[in-house]
Structure 1
Amino acid sequence: MVTGDNMAASRSSSVLRENMSEDEGRNGTATLDVFPGTVRQKIVLQRLIVIGRLPHDVADRTELGDHYERLNFQLSKQHIWDHVTGLLLIYPACVLHVIESSRDVLLSVLKDLRDTQLQTDGSLLETAKVVSMAHVPHSRMFQQWSYKVLDADHVAGAPVKKGFEEEEESTETLVCSLMSALQNLGKHLRTSQKTLPGSVLDGAPELVVSQDVLGKLLSRDELPSPQLHLQMYDSPLNISMGFGQMNRSSCLTTV
């Protein structure tokens, strides 16, 4: 039975989330008053881009999407104000995952990916690489989190640009190609009346990031694995008193 208190709490929660979205649209930083005048919580929006290679014997590619749906639900209960948005594209051979939320949520996603890769049997991904984890300068690219399993027609609709073969040795060029494709998708999402990216991709498969680009990036040592990224993130600072310099024991290599 829905009581008046529950309805009031629901309306209050909706207002707070609307305020978060408005703040994010202005400066990429979500700020809200949980209890006006007493507690103020500031959430800085970040975007994580991860790629991975599927096992050769994967039978049902929707299992990966279902796994992240469960993970996002668990994280939403632990971080009630850190709304998760993004897109998981599941190709025939690899995946591209873009997640937008707070740093704590994104680190939890990386830890889950690290733990699943350490499993000896039944790993959802054979290989994974962190392409980028950075602050979002403006607004979110996605309104919600969703995933889409791509078929052969989607992949065929995203060919590698002519002349790209000569530049494929450059990791920077590959990353720029990926980022450019995501920016084009974001532009279409802002002007489209369709709320889910999957529906937009159905009508414009040329917006899909090339699976060839993802496959080549997965072989690049410049991009760290989730485990290495977390190790570098948690590494202590080394302070050199002789030279007055302060350096991390390892430098982040994420492009």
Structure 2
Amino acid sequence: MADALRSQLEAGPRDSLLDVILNRVQKAGKAVLVTRIVYVARMLQRHNTMDAVKGQLSRIVEKNSQDGEITGFLLVYPLCYIHVIEGKTPQLMAVLRDVQSQGSDLRLSETRIISSCEDVPARYFSAWYAAYMPSVSNVEAMDPLDAFGAVKSASDINGFLRKAGPELTSPNDSDTRRKLNTVESSFEDVPAQELVLSLTPTEDAPTLAEYLDIFDSPVNVDLESEQVWPMPPPLKY
């Protein structure tokens, strides 16, 4: 045992998990790790167009993006919206912090992070797009989904986004603009407003504040040994 420990010490420090991951990323030729976050939001008032929501969120995205580094898609319904953003993790966290701090201006009632993935193989979207999805439904709110229903609905939304992304080739492309103006007839499996409204109150997905508290706050761990007095003596090898 002592010989094995001595051999490890003489060999120098071993690679950490982060070292291994970064080494793999470098070998894969990746210069930037791209993160994708999808969240849904319920609004306090009905919107007949996307203009107000798009205007506020586009300013937040532009503020935290350089040269179009943040890509994604905003799909606005009368009472809620789906927003997927792709880019460097610090940029996306900054977007979410601004959305949280400007929640009252955005007239948000509830938000839920339904998908978060770091180091995605590729982006879904080539730029940041926005579209409006009208709904004739009079439903103002939905009961929260159980865990199974929440996972299935979140998967349905991610599946829709994965298929919609390649269809949007460029903001200046006429066919892309046509599809954005006719979302329901241009894309398959467009989520209904009721599906989004059923995700916003579910407790099986973190709120925006909870997500930021977990993933964008300093780690503060209290070790059990630090709560004991007198402190235990250091281990001797």
TM-score where L is the length of structure 2: 0.66
Cα pair distance change 1:169/1:212, threshold 3 Å: farther
**Runs in 1 of length 4+ with deviation above 4 angstroms?**
57-60, 166-169, 187-190, 239-242
CA RMSD, Structure 1 to Structure 2 (Å)? 3.4
Aligned to 2:69: 83
Aligned to 2:163: 184
Aligned to 2:123: 140
The aligned amino acid for 1:204 is S
Partner of residue 128 from structure 1, selected from 111, 116, 126: 111
Aligned to 1:44: 33
Partner of residue 207 from structure 2, selected from 225, 229, 251: 225
The aligned amino acid for 1:219 is P
CA distance in 1, matches of 2:126, 2:44: 30
Gaps of 5+ in 2: 1-27, 138-144, 226-237
Report the structure, 1 or 2, having the larger strand content.
Answer: 1
Post-superposition offset of 1:127: 1.3
* Cα-to-partner distance string for 1:59-88 (whole Å, 9 max, x where unaligned): 754111011222222223xxx367011110
Give the number of equivalent residue pairs.
188
* Cα-to-partner distance string for 1:205-242 (whole Å, 9 max, x where unaligned): 44422222211111101211111111112152536577
Aligned to 1:114: 100
Post-superposition offset of 1:98: 0.6
The aligned amino acid for 2:194 is D
1:238 aligned counterpart, secondary structure: coil
Partner of residue 194 from structure 2, selected from 212, 226, 233: 212
Cα pair distance change 1:103/1:177, threshold 3 Å: same
Work out which of the two has the higher radius of gyration on C-alpha atoms and give 1 or 2.
2
Aligned to 1:238: 221
Post-superposition offset of 1:55: 1.6
CA distance in 2, matches of 1:58, 1:151: 9
The aligned amino acid for 1:112 is D
Identity of aligned residues (%): 19
Gaps of 5+ in 1: 1-26, 32-42, 156-165, 243-255
Cα pair distance change 1:45/1:168, threshold 3 Å: closer
Q: Aligned ranges for residues 151-170 of structure 1 at < 5 Å?
A: 151-152=134-135, 170=149
The aligned amino acid for 1:180 is G
2:41 aligned counterpart, secondary structure: strand
